[in-house]
Structure 1
Amino acid sequence: MQDVKTSPGWHGLLRGTRLSSILERDGNNFDLLRLCAALAVMFGHSFWLQPAHGRTEPILTHTGLEYSGSLAVYTFFVISGMLVSASYQRQRSLGRFVPLRLARIYPALIACVFLTTFVLYPILSTGGMANALLSGEAKEYFFMNVGLFWGIQWTLPHIFEHNAIKGVVNGSLWTLPLELMCYLMVIAAGLMSAYSSRLRLVALLAVIGAGIAYLASHTSNYELLRSIVNKPTGYSFYAPPFFMAGMLLYAVRDRVIVSWPVGIALAIAYIAGRHSALAAPLFYLAFVYVLLCLSGDRMLRRIRLVNDYSYGVYLWAFPIQQIVAAYAPEMDNLVGLAISIPLTIIAAALSWHIVEKPSIRLARRLATSLSAASGGKRNPAAL
């Protein structure tokens, strides 16, 4: 079966393309989709952060299942499940894999939390700049939120006191511990050689899935475990299973054919059955498959992003939206969004060029050095 790349026109569209081709470096739209997902989080949050005009989030209103923010998070997790799995397979070494993953998450996170805690908070606090700088709450906020595995601290005193979501500084950080835990699943799969044995991978994911199901129906004394089945407002499902779906899709990438007619058929099936007992599984199946279609769409590939601002947008959006809401509590949420998006993109651009990109380059050099020291060869561009 030929891929879309070599089958032009409707004939190629009907045949589709293999997921393995989409996962090639120049064969996908992942950077664009992640940026759109980060902006979708902003759109979804705006209905809760600035609810003065009483609008309801349209996707949640239509589906009754999810909203734009939750679908954006699922998008991040599906794409990460595929790409992080591919990264582990390329590195085949914890010594190379771990620095690359940590460099992608931590430097920008630390910069964001530091500036939020020790610059924005003292400026915005109604309790005084000196009190904000020296407060135990500020230190705890910083160390909790850069540690991630000890839980997320949501609030600080004397800030955003009159906002719709009172005192919450950065409500988006809750997904980052989940992302790191999902990396542990990739490491476990790699150590078990599960990517070379679909049976082992399915068995591993089944065990993890059973654990998640247990946590969903029971409770845990550990905050980290409770966070795995956290379902914020607007969520009807959990984020980690979408990462697991990405891992499985990567493992079967040579056998998955991505075709828009199939994606459209699944979307129609959901619409036809949206009031039935099959509504939820049809919705999630259609969502993931259409995401794959968008990932490989050649028309979208014409939009080439030189820089990856998606993570910076994700980190900075919530505090910036909260600041806008604090100064204009009665503002229409869409007007607030029009103000917040440019400010957030500026912050994300600074994050990318000053923090993220240099950190990634340093991690790649470290990974290359480790590879050379162990006698292996790696193309730095493939790291």
Structure 2
Amino acid sequence: MNKSQTIVFQNNSFDYLRHLAAFSVVALHIVTHLRLTETLFISYLLSYYQGVVVLFGISGFLIAASFEKCSTKKEFFIKRIKRLYPGLWGAFGVSFLLILFLYSPALDLKRILVWFSTQLTFLQFYTPDWLREYGNGTPNGSLWTIVVELQFYVLVGLFFNRLKSLTDKQWILVIGGSIACNILTKIAEAYLPHILFKLLFQTFIPYVYIFLIGVFIYINRERILPALCHYCWWIFILYTLIFTIYFLRSPVSIGHYTSIISGVFIPFITIAMAYRFGRHRIPFDISYGIYLYHMIFINVMLETNIEPKVLAAILVLVFTIGFAFVSYYFIEKPFTHIKLWGHHSLEDQKI
């Protein structure tokens, strides 16, 4: 692709990259929680390409686009709720029924109200003590990202217009400051009480630099994307070399949740690849469902002690993909077609 070539926003491969990122999260959790054999090479791959980092980077780019397309902030937030919550509530219903069947907890009205109120709103990271013996101790631990995403939506709603006016130097300060916050979060772990650090982990602070890189690329897309697409393979090679040296040689992890190297490079590479490969669409989007359901079924495998673990991993994939399709066609897709402000295409709703 020529550096000066005009980029058409819709001509991308985000559909495939979203699914690849979701499956990489599944792979990480299957290897970790089902305790499959983890060789050095598998550990390298799971660290090299981290699905949550990919999704946060894509989210910054596409959420900024969604906000700019909406005529009001109210429209933006309603669209985000329609995109996020119906599938989430469906997954919680499935998880609840499986827990009742497999775990038979002693429930009373207070327990039900507290648990439901957290899981159906924005406190999905909360796990009551009476569920700590189920599965791996958290019925759907991957949902900590939901509250982080919600905070990203609020940040875009509040500050997008201000971000649009930033110069390159100001962007460097903003993203650099966000990276510093991530590193300070890592340092704070040694000084904060455990409960406060766990709460800090649920805020946008450690992850916002990844999201902001996506926003930065979107706002400056006409200037940056052609160059990113032109040099994407060189950026990819550079990241691979730096990460490999870091992975094999560095005794200390620089950054909280993921290395700063991955947190910076992955959003640039992902968005560059999305446009480098051009327009490729999938007629369905089960990436969100895959993310929602995989830990539910990993916990089922742990609770039922399915052996061998390879069989358990296969069953997790089969049930996850199956329920993701059900969620997409019977929950997510119908809700995205509800018309509140005229016609919104499914393509727009997937942003």
What is the TM-score with the length of structure 2 in the denominator?
A: 0.80
Q: What's the counterpart of residue 140 of structure 2?
A: 170
CA deviation profile, 1:265-304 (whole Å, cap 9, x unmatched) = 31353257435679955544443333234312438x55x3
Alignment partner of 1:168: what SS? coil
* Partners of 1:352 and 1:380 in 2: CA distance: 12
Aligned pair partner of 2:13 in 29, 45, 56: 29
Aligned pair partner of 1:242 in 210, 234, 237: 210
- C-alpha displacement at 1:330, in angstroms? 3.9
* Partners of 1:81 and 1:244 in 2: CA distance: 6
- C-alpha displacement at 1:48, in angstroms? 2.3
Alignment partner of 1:157: what SS? helix
Q: What's the counterpart of residue 108 of structure 1?
A: 87
Alignment partner of 1:316: what SS? helix
* 1:246 maps to amino acid: G
Residues paired across the two proteins, number: 332
Contact 1:37 1:75 in 2 (8 A): yes
Q: Which runs of 5+ in 2 are unaligned?
A: none
Alignment partner of 1:147: what SS? coil
For residues 105 and 96 of structure 1, do their structure 2 counterparts lie closer, same or farther at Cα, with a shift above 3 Å needed? same
* 2:211 maps to amino acid: F
* Partners of 2:155 and 2:175 in 1: CA distance: 8
Aligned pair partner of 1:312 in 265, 289, 301: 289
* Partners of 1:144 and 1:307 in 2: CA distance: 30
Aligned pair partner of 2:127 in 143, 148, 154: 154
For residues 158 and 126 of structure 1, do their structure 2 counterparts lie closer, same or farther at Cα, with a shift above 3 Å needed? farther
1:349 and 2:325 aligned: yes
Alignment partner of 2:233: what SS? helix
* Partners of 2:44 and 2:128 in 1: CA distance: 31
1:335 and 2:319 aligned: no
* 2:13 maps to amino acid: N
* 2:142 maps to amino acid: S
* 1:152 maps to amino acid: F
Contact 2:171 2:216 in 1 (8 A): yes
1:94 and 2:73 aligned: yes
- C-alpha displacement at 1:122, in angstroms? 1.3
* 2:274 maps to amino acid: S
CA deviation profile, 1:52-96 (whole Å, cap 9, x unmatched) = x5x126567337x9365xx10011100000000011111142021
Alignment partner of 1:152: what SS? coil
Q: What's the counterpart of residue 38 of structure 2?
A: 56
Contact 1:368 1:380 in 2 (8 A): no
For residues 158 and 225 of structure 1, do their structure 2 counterparts lie closer, same or farther at Cα, with a shift above 3 Å needed? closer
Q: What's the counterpart of residue 66 of structure 1?
A: 47
* Partners of 1:41 and 1:17 in 2: CA distance: 35
* 2:164 maps to amino acid: Y
Q: What's the counterpart of residue 141 of structure 1?
A: 115
Q: What's the counterpart of residue 323 of structure 1?
A: 300
Q: CA RMSD in A?
A: 3.4
1:228 and 2:203 aligned: yes
* 2:284 maps to amino acid: N
Between structure 1 and structure 2, the one with the greater Rg is 1
Identity %: 20
